[in-house]
Amino acid sequence: MRFAYADPPYPGMGHFYAEKRECNHRVLFGYLVDEFPDGWALSTASTTLQEVLAIDTCPTDVRICAWVKPFASFKPGVNPAYCWEPVIVRGGRQRTDKTEPTVRDFLAEPITLRKGLTGAKPEEFCRWISNLLGYRDGMDELVDIFPGTRIMERTLNQGVLL
């Protein structure tokens, strides 16, 4: 099976990155749907989730999962704090064997610090994404559309364990 993970600049946040460009989520959804029918996951911000889901190329059969951050960077004057991020998931390998572990639709894992890129994800987050999609090491491909720090690639090379 062939899966994808996309962690583009969140809407309105392109200025945080070297390219200083926004992601066209309308085009991105079309690409994910067309090129990765087996399944994909897309990270976004809680503040822009409604906007992203309203895009006409966003399928209606997606599921919203949550990365909850027990330790997060608190911003002065911002209340409530930004302590979770939605992950939009579509498809993935269905688990048919009751002995297979069930993957939760949330992950509680702290943010990363000093990784050289705004929004860099922790290794456990990458494992969670691969498990949400049902990725099987040695059998499947998981394409990281916005590789950034290449943490997804490095994590998958270590093996994916539930």
| Structural domain contains residue 120 | yes
Whether 147 contacts 8, CB under 8 Å: no
Domain assignment of residue 22, given as a range: 2-157
What does the alpha-carbon distance between residue 117 and residue 20 come to, in Å, rounded to a whole number?
13
Task: Give strand ranges (E) for the chain.
Answer: 2-6, 39-43, 63-68, 84-91, 106-108, 141-144
| Structural domain contains residue 153 | yes
Structural domain tally of the chain? 1
What CATH number does the domain containing 50 carry?
3.40.50.150
- The pTM score is 0.86
| Structural domain contains residue 136 | yes
- CA-based nearest residue to 4, from 36, 47, 30: 36
Tens-digit pLDDT profile for residues 94-146: 888 888 889 999 999 988 776 556 667 888 999 999 999 999 988 999 999 88
| Structural domain contains residue 162 | no
Cα diameter, the chain: 48
Backbone angles phi and psi of 93, in degrees to 5 = -75, 130
| Structural domain contains residue 94 | yes
Tens-digit pLDDT profile for residues 14-48: 555 556 566 788 999 999 999 999 999 999 999 99
